[in-house]
Amino acid sequence: MLHSVDPRLKSIRDKVEAGQRLSLDDGLLLYQDDIPLNDVGQLANLVRERINGNRGYYNINTHLNATNVCVYRCVFCAFRSDLRSPKGYVMDEDAILARGKEAVDNGCTEMHLVGGLHHKRDYDWYKGILKTLHGAYPDLHLKAWTAVEINWFEFLTKQSTEWVLQDLREAGLGSLPGGGAEIFHPEVRDKICEHKADSRNWIEIHRTAHRLGIRSNCTMLYGHIENAFHRIDHLIRLRELQDDTGGFQTFIPLAFHPDNTGLSHIKKPSVLMDLRTMAVSRLMLDNIPHIKAYWIMLGIETAQAALAYGADDIDGTVRHELIYHDAGATTPELLSVERIRHLIQEAGRDPVERDTLYREVIRDDQDFSKWHVGEQVAVGSMA
Ligand code: V47
The confidence band for 318, taking pLDDT boundaries of 50, 70 and 90, is confident
Domain boundaries, the chain: 23-370
Half-sphere exposure of 288 (CA within 13 A, CB side): 32
Work out the burial of residue 10: count CB atoms within 10 Å of its CB; fewer than 13 is exposed, 13-18 middle, 19 or more buried.
exposed
The confidence band for 322, taking pLDDT boundaries of 50, 70 and 90, is confident
Please give the mean pLDDT across all residues of the chain. Answer: 95
For residue 326, report the distance from its CA to the centre of ligand 1, in Å: 12
Q: Where are the beta strands (DSSP E) in the chain?
A: 55-59, 61-64, 110-113, 141-144, 173-175, 216-222, 248-255, 290-291, 313-316, 350-353, 359-363, 371-376
For residue 77, report the distance from its CA to the centre of ligand 1, in Å: 9
Q: What is the pLDDT of residues 325-355, one digit of tens each?
A: 888 888 887 888 999 999 999 999 999 999 9
Q: What amino acid is encoded at 68 in this protein? A: N
Q: What is the pLDDT of residues 273-313, one digit of tens each?
A: 999 999 999 999 999 999 999 999 999 999 999 999 999 99
Q: What amino acid is encoded at 343 in this protein? A: L
CATH 3.20.20.70 fits 23-370, yes or no: yes
Q: What is the pLDDT of residues 222-276, one digit of tens each?
A: 999 999 999 999 999 999 999 999 999 999 999 999 999 999 999 999 999 999 9
Rama region for 187: left / alpha / beta (φ>0; ψ in -120 to 50; rest): alpha
Closest atom, ligand 1, to C-alpha of 180: 1
Q: Where are the beta strands (DSSP E) in 5-117?
A: 55-59, 61-64, 110-113
Alpha carbon 329 to chain centroid, angstroms: 16
Do 322 and 296 form a contact (C-beta atoms < 8 A)? no
Closest atom, ligand 1, to C-alpha of 257: 11
- Residue of 254, 315, 317 with the most ligand 1 atoms within 8 Å of its CB, for mutation: 254
Half-sphere exposure of 328 (CA within 13 A, CB side): 13
Question: Atom 5 in ligand 1: which residue has the minimum CA distance?
Answer: 77
Binding site membership of 77 for ligand 1 (Cβ less than 6 Å): yes
Q: What is the pLDDT of residues 65-83, one digit of tens each?
A: 999 999 999 999 999 999 9
Q: Of 198, 178, 152, nearest to 242 (Cα)?
A: 178
Q: Where are the beta strands (DSSP E) in 289-333?
A: 290-291, 313-316
Closest atom, ligand 1, to C-alpha of 254: 13
Q: Of 294, 307, 290, nearest to 351 (Cα)?
A: 307
Question: Atom 17 in ligand 1: which residue has the minimum CA distance?
Answer: 179
Using alpha carbons, list the distances in angstroms from residue 102 to 36, 98, 252: 46, 6, 26
Question: What contacts 230, CB < 8 A, 6 or more positions away?
Answer: 183, 185, 187, 188
Question: Atom 2 in ligand 1: which residue has the minimum CA distance?
Answer: 77
CA angle, residues 190, 195, 197, in degrees to nearest 5 = 95
Give me the percent of the chain exceeding a pLDDT of 70: 99
Q: What is the pLDDT of residues 141-189, one digit of tens each?
A: 999 999 999 999 999 999 999 999 999 999 999 999 999 999 999 999 9
For residue 113, report the distance from its CA to the centre of ligand 1, in Å: 12
- Residue of 60, 259, 323, 331 with the most ligand 1 atoms within 8 Å of its CB, for mutation: 323
Q: Annotate 314-335 with three-state secondary structure.
A: EEECCCCCCHHHHCCCCCCCCC
3-state secondary structure of 121: coil
Partners of 248 in beta bridges: 216
